[in-house]
């Protein structure tokens, strides 16, 4: 088995998560503008809208402002008047481009520090947009990564195998030398393996060997399989 030379990480749900929740941030923004709402039903509508949009077409995120405007509108409809929707969207668009809207997942910095100490090159591979660079910088983890590959900048989204090919070309490495870590069984685990990469699924220990509960388990797993 070829030695792993480069590891890419998914971003949202793997390295970072909304802080406190999307519903809380949406509700706070609406309340700041005098609108009456609760976070829980907004969070529920957000999860439904986001899940349905991705199920219909992961490639929709290649047009991030259009994609997120639709999600925001569906999530806060009934709470936000139509004449306020554009202003609220711009506030939220900017808010989620800042580190204060996010938190690091447990074990993130320790895991990245350990992997770098072992000489493994690291990067990010995310269905995301250009705001991600600033978020990672604000949270203090951007220096860990040699490159940040963002779907909206590359022109392809996971699970399209072409996005993995683009990374291979940029790094000048074969698929067999690459490992992807993510939290989605289809967009991360399955897509990476179909592209010829190795993959680790975070958040679900049951199943194939290369699955972990959190990022903190990755160093031990890699030590076992590369020993």
Strands (E), 22-144: 102-104, 121-126
Work out how many domains the chain is built from and give that number: 2
In a domain, 1, yes or no: no
The CATH number for 210's domain is 3.40.50.1000
Quick one: pLDDT at residue 227? Answer: 43
Do 183 and 205 fall within a single domain? Answer: yes
* End residue of a domain, out of 100, 119, 137: 100
Do 117 and 207 fall within a single domain? Answer: yes
Domain range for 88 is 21-100
Instruction: Give the span between the Cα atoms of 59 and 106, in whole angstroms.
Output: 29
Quick one: pLDDT at residue 69? Answer: 96
Do 72 and 160 fall within a single domain? Answer: no
Quick one: pLDDT at residue 2? Answer: 74
By CB atoms closer than 10 A (0-12, 13-18, 19+), residue 34 is exposed
Quick one: pLDDT at residue 224? Answer: 64
Do 11 and 52 fall within a single domain? Answer: no
Do 207 and 113 fall within a single domain? Answer: yes
Quick one: pLDDT at residue 27? Answer: 97
Instruction: Give the span between the Cα atoms of 102 and 141, in whole angstroms.
Output: 12
- pTM for this one? 0.92
Do 220 and 137 fall within a single domain? Answer: yes
Quick one: pLDDT at residue 55? Answer: 84
pLDDT beneath 50: ranges in the chain: 227
Instruction: Give the span between the Cα atoms of 193 and 211, in whole angstroms.
Output: 13
Quick one: pLDDT at residue 117? Answer: 93
pLDDT in tens, 76-129: 999 999 999 999 999 999 999 999 999 999 999 999 999 999 999 999 999 999
Do 203 and 182 fall within a single domain? Answer: yes
């Amino acid at each position: 088995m070829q030695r792993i030379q480069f590891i890419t990480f998914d971003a949202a749900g793997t390295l970072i998560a909304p802080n406190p929740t999307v519903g809380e941030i949406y509700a706070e923004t609406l309340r700041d503008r005098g609108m009456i709402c609760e976070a829980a039903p907004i969070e529920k509508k957000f999860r439904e809208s986001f899940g349905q949009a991705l199920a219909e077409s992961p490639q929709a995120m290649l047009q991030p402002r259009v994609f997120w405007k639709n999600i925001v509108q569906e999530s806060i409809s009934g709470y936000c008047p139509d004449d306020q929707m554009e202003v609220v969207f711009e506030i939220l668009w900017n808010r989620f481009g800042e580190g204060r809207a996010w938190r690091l997942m447990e074990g993130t910095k320790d895991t990245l520090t350990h992997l770098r100490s072992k000489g493994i090159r690291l990067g990010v591979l995310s269905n995301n947009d250009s705001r991600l660079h600033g978020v990672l910088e604000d949270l203090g983890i951007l220096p860990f990564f040699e490159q940040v590959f963002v779907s909206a900048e590359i022109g392809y989204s996971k699970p399209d195998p072409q996005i993995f090919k683009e990374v291979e070309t940029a790094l000048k490495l074969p698929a067999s030398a690459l490992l992807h870590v993510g939290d989605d069984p289809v967009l991360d685990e399955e897509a990476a393996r179909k592209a010829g990469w190795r993959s680790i699924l975070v958040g679900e220990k049951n199943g194939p060997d290369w699955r972990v509960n959190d990022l903190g388990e990755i160093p031990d797993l890699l030590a076992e399989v590369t020993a």
